Every structure is written in structure tokens, then in C-alpha cells.
Chains A and B, each alone.
Chain A
Amino acid sequence: MAAVEVKNLVKKYGAFEAVKGISFDVNQGEIFGLIGPNAAGKTTVLRVISTLLTINSGSVNIMDLELSKKPDEIRKFISYLPEDAGAYKNLTGRRYLMFIANFFETKNTREIVQKGIEIADLDERIDDKVDTYSKGMKRRLLVGRALMINPKLAILDEPTSGLDVINAQEIRKIIKNTARQGTTVLLSSHNMLEVEYLCDQIALISEGKIIEEGKPKALMEKYHANNIEEVFTKVVQ
């Protein structure tokens, strides 16, 4: 059973067709990357899968549940990290994690929060207000929030966007570890090197269509490229 099955997905914003009949599968436990330039449709696909947007046509199944029919069920085991997500500024990091954890389990809330704190790795700053955090600290908190609940599917939109090298590396390690523990990860990025390092499977997306799909190594061999960036350039040309 695939963790995510997307078939002929079409999403329009008014007359503009942002996603033009995309299909792909994500296997359980793998890290799947959607790669493409800005406005390619990556975020729209992720927003649809995370139950935020309705679809115009096609179908999306997550863990064998049809997205359009069972969004409430799906929300119980997915976790979505938007690209420019924020946290409630007046809450402390700990209080924010607790607020999120309370939506999931009532018995193990403390354990969930503790895991979030460990992932965020903010030391004593976890008890400071989010308003006082730097961009990197905020992103780490949000990654902690997204992964602390042990989601079956983690949907991460540009997880390292805007972060310095050290913070970005830390977050990549966290994502890798999470996948090793059985979580399926679907992420988007326009950082080709990041994708090459993280993903088991990638799909290149441009102007709302998937133009190539496969394992990073296989794609590099196919296009005689040294890295995914070259693959993307060759495919687009």
C-alpha cells in the first residue's frame, strides 16, 4: 500500500490552472521530494495533500483513505509544515508545543511535548516567548511541532527555507532520522543539493506538471548529470 496516491490531480485558482493533472505515489517510509522552481505548483500539491485545499478533479488517497471524503480522519496522522509558517507569538515554545499536542493524544501529551522539545533543541529558550526567537529558532520549533507527534505522513514545504547552513543541516538530519523511524516524508524544495541528500524518490515539477520522476541517482545516470540541478536544467530544456 502506498502512503500517498495522487491520480490526475487538477487544482485551479479561478481560471488559473496551478496543477495540471499530476500523478505520483509515495511509498511508506520513504522521503519523497517535489522539486521545481517558484510557482511550479509544489505548494499547491502539498496544501491539497495536507487537507487545506479542495481539488477540482482527480483523486488523492492517503494511507488508503480518500482525501475528499475523510479529511478529518487523515488529519489525525499527518503533519504539515508550511513554508513560511509561524507560531503564536505570545506563547512560549513549550506552551506552543503543548497547545498542538493537546489536539492529538490526551494520555501521552507530556511525552509528545518532550519529543518536540528535543527535536527543536532550544535548551532553556524553550520557555521564552516565540516572539523573541530568531528565524532559525522558530523554524526548529516548528519542525519539532511537525514531527513530535510521530506522524505517519510528514508534509514539509521548503523545510530549510531561509535558514543558515548550520540550522539547515540540523533540520535535514532530523528529517532523515524521522524517516528512519517509519514516518513517510513528502517535502518540497528548490534546493537541489538538499533533495539529493535527503530524498529516496523525487519528482521534477514545472508549470503544474510532473516532467520527470525517479530516484536521484537513477535520474543523474539517465541524464548524464553530476547532480540533480543539472538533471533539472536538462529536463526543462
Chain B
Amino acid sequence: MSALSNIIIKELRELLTPASILPIIIIALIFGSIGSSMEGIREGFDEQPVLGYIDEDNNYLSTIVTTYLNNNSKVIFNSTDIADKSYGLDQVKQKQGVALIIIKQNFSRDILNDNRGEIDVYWIMRGAGLFDAVSSEVVEGTISSLNKEISKILIQNNTTINASIALWPTSRIDTTYFKDREIGLSPGAITSMLASQSTFMPIVIMMLIIFAGQMIISSMALEKENKTLETLLTLPVKRTSIVTGKIAASAFIGLLFAVIYMFGMRNYFQGFQMSEALNLADYGLILTSQDFVLVGISLFIALISALALCMFLGTFAKNYKSAQTLVFPVTMLAMIPMFITMFADFDTLPLALKGLLFAIPFSHPMMATRALIFNDYLLVISGIIYVSIFAIVTISIVVWVFKTDRLLTGSTRRKKIWMFKKKRI
């Protein structure tokens, strides 16, 4: 064997360890599953939209509209009487429809008199994630096609109406029902406005958890590598103080990094949202000072639980290098809720995914802002309670580990005694 191949084989053996391969495989699987989800969204675009309509006009051009809707969508309710509006809305809600379209009186006459024909669209919005916007986007596409259909008829008939009316003959008023709120916007506009929360916050929280987590795991690893841990453990200081001190310092630096990071990210996202002139506050979609306190508590508790978890993992670290691998599980636990909350709304998730999202402590601050905008205090407060319990239990486990031999020897004698006792029973 040549010297070169000898070195290459040695390097490969050192670099290709389970610890280095596993993260790559898991990341590939996660991105693969995201890709599959995207394919699901694309298939959603091919499906016919489920909707209802009321043709108040019931005239020449409105019939073109209703015929188009009947042919190109799954109509679950139709009427010509505006008095049926409430019933129609209930039907759309019950049958998982997306919208109730009302073609207003004089729709045909207005268009033929050089005015845009009015359409009211009552949207039923179930979630504010990007996945949830698919069905409303399909209806948007249908409405756009409707306009083209009417335009075609008007142009074919050589009418003398204004060209701009002929090219876009309808005007629309949107009303969206979402989480017990009535908002004068389309779901697309609402989703777009909330996108800042659903992308910005999860990314910042993920980065915060990874920064702070890496710090505390590295701190533990360095204590071991630099052989300072043994001295620390023989000093007259309670194990709880050592654990709390490390967590508090890492939390402080983590928050500091997050603030710096947040400024950069905010500018980054604002750069993309220049064209969005809509403001959440104009539609009452704002956080009160009480809501901000809840978001802060949720974030703080999640950070503490992340640090406690990292500190527990840090007890397994043999040196600084192994600490880098140990950050990986926490990174995954931060990335999974980040992706889920970016693309979907908690309320519209399947039960198993809801359970998973709730169980991951870092999900809660990621979901808190959007939940509080829509007054979902139950989710946020129950999340804070759950994460607090998680943090307390994890810290208790870490303190217990500090009282055993695990830190120095990698094993806990108490565990063996417990197992031994159990066998005797």
C-alpha cells in the first residue's frame, strides 16, 4: 500500500463515522419529505375547488359565470336568492368548501353599461400556513378564469364597452372568516401578511436554540476536555447552582445573539415585503402588550428547556469535537417545528402531527405569535405550562446526572442498583 493511499484510508476511517453520516441521512430524509409535501400541494392545484354561489343577478352574463362554475368546480350550494346567504355559508363551512360567491344584482347590466360587475366572495379560511392557502389559490384561479370567460364573450359579441372593462369585467369584495374573525381581505392577502410571522419568528427561534444549545454543550465538553470539571465538582457549590449558572449564562448570550440576528433577518424579510402595502394592524390583527408578554414567556421557557436538554446531552460529550455531533438532535428538534409552522397551521394539521408539534418544546414560541393574533390563548398558555414542566423535569434530570458518576465515568451506578432491585422483585 502506498503512503498516499494509506493516509487516504486513515482519513476516510476517521471522517466516515456513524456520527458524521447519520445527520446527513436525516437531513436528506427531512428535505425529501418536504419535497413530497410540495408535490401534494401541486396536486391540490389540479383538484376542482369546492364552493357555493348565489346568482342574485340571474341574467345573461351571470349565467356565463354560473355555467363556468358548474363545469369547473364542485358546487355544493347554489341559489338565486340573497336571503339564502347565511344558509349557504353554513353549507360551505360544513362541506369543507372554500368560498361562497355572490353575483350581485345588476351584474350583467353594470358590465354592459361600462361598469364592472360586482362579485362578493365570502371565504372560509381554515389555516394560515402556505399549505392551507392552496384551496383559496385555486378559487382565485377560477375567478380569474371567469373574468377571461366573460371577456371572451364580450369581445366575440363586438360590444362597444370600454376596453379595460372588457378585459377585466368584474370587481370583487372579499370577506374572510378565519378563527371566529371576519376580515375584509382574501385568504391570500392574509396569508401573505402573516408570512412574516410564520417565516421570520421560527427561523429566529431555531437559530437562537441552536446558538445557545451549541454554547452550553461546548461549555460542558470544554470543562471535560480542559479537565476543569473535576475541580468544579469538588468545590463547595451545589450541583443545582452549577447547572443553573451554566443555563443562565448561555440563555443570556443566546438571547443577545438572537437580538443581533433578528435585526439582520428583519431587514432581510422587509426587503422582500416592500410591495406588500397591507398592514396587520389595519385589520385588528395585532398583538396587545399582554400578548407580547406571553410570547416572551413562551420564548424564554422554550430556551431554558432547550438549554437543559443540551446540558443533558453535554454530559455525554467527551470533548469539543464530540459536542458538535451532540448538538444535532437539538438542531433537528428546532428544524422540524420550524418547517411545519412555516408551511401549515396547527389547527389544520393531522392529529398525529399536532401531537408531535405540541410535544416538541421549541414549537410553542414559533406558533405563539400567530395563535395570539387570533386570540388562541388556550394553545399558548397550555404550551407554556407544558414547556415549563418539560424544562423543570429536564433540569432535575441534569442535576441528578451531576450527582452521579456519569459525568466522569459515563455510567450511573444508581441505575444499575435500580435494575438489580427490579430483577429481585
Chain A contacts for B235, CB-based, 8 A: 75, 100, 103
Closest A residue to B228 by CB, please name it: A86
Q: Which of B103-120 contact A (CB under 8 A)?
A: none
Proximity bits, B203-241, A CB within 8 Å = 1, else 0: 000000000000000000000001110110111111000
User: In the assembly, what is the distance between CA of A97 and CA of B294, in Å?
Assistant: 42
A24 located at the interface, meaning its Cβ lies under 8 Å from any Cβ of chain B in the complex:
no
Chain A contacts for B405, CB-based, 8 A: 52-54
B2 located at the interface, meaning its Cβ lies under 8 Å from any Cβ of chain A in the complex:
no
Contact between B236 and A76, CB atoms less than 8 A apart: yes
Contact between A86 and B226, CB atoms less than 8 A apart: yes
In the complex, what's the smallest C-beta–C-beta distance from B253 to chain A, in angstroms? Answer: 14
B181 located at the interface, meaning its Cβ lies under 8 Å from any Cβ of chain A in the complex:
no
Q: Which of A38-65 contact B (CB under 8 A)?
A: 47, 50-54, 56
In the complex, what's the smallest C-beta–C-beta distance from A72 to chain B, in angstroms? Answer: 7
Chain B contacts for A223, CB-based, 8 A: none
**Choice from A52, A56, A89, A104 contacting B233 with Cβ under 8 Å:** A52
**Choice from B230, B238, B404 contacting A80 with Cβ under 8 Å:** B230
Chain A contacts for B413, CB-based, 8 A: 12, 54, 56
Contact between B230 and A103, CB atoms less than 8 A apart: no
Chain A contacts for B409, CB-based, 8 A: 13, 53
Closest A residue to B230 by CB, please name it: A82
User: In the assembly, what is the distance between CA of A47 and CA of B227, in Å?
Assistant: 14
**Also in contact, A88 and B411, with CB within 8 A (given A75-B236, A80-B231):** no
Interface size (A, Cβ < 8 Å)?
Answer: 27
Contact between A85 and B230, CB atoms less than 8 A apart: yes
In the complex, what's the smallest C-beta–C-beta distance from A92 to chain B, in angstroms? Answer: 15
**Also in contact, A52 and B236, with CB within 8 A (given A82-B227, A85-B228, A86-B226):** no
Closest A residue to B409 by CB, please name it: A13
In the complex, what's the smallest C-beta–C-beta distance from B382 to chain A, in angstroms? Answer: 38
Proximity bits, B251-277, A CB within 8 Å = 1, else 0: 000000000000000000000000000
User: In the assembly, what is the distance between CA of A125 and CA of B395, in Å?
Assistant: 39
Can you show 24 pairs from A to B with CB atoms below 8 A apart? A12-B413, A13-B411, A47-B230, A50-B234, A51-B233, A52-B233, A52-B405, A52-B408, A53-B405, A56-B413, A72-B236, A72-B238, A75-B236, A76-B236, A82-B231, A84-B227, A85-B227, A86-B227, A86-B228, A87-B228, A88-B226, A89-B226, A103-B236, A145-B231
The 6 closest A-B pairs by CB, nearest first: A86-B226, A86-B227, A80-B234, A75-B236, A76-B236, A103-B235
B-side residues, CB < 8 A to A, are 226-228, 230-231, 233-238, 404-405, 408-409, 411, 413-414
A-side residues, CB < 8 A to B, are 12-14, 47, 50-54, 56, 72, 75-76, 78-80, 82, 84-89, 100, 103-104, 145
Apart from A78-B234, A80-B230, 15 more pairs, CB < 8 Å: A13-B411, A14-B411, A47-B230, A75-B236, A75-B237, A76-B236, A80-B234, A82-B231, A85-B228, A85-B230, A87-B226, A87-B228, A88-B228, A100-B235, A145-B231
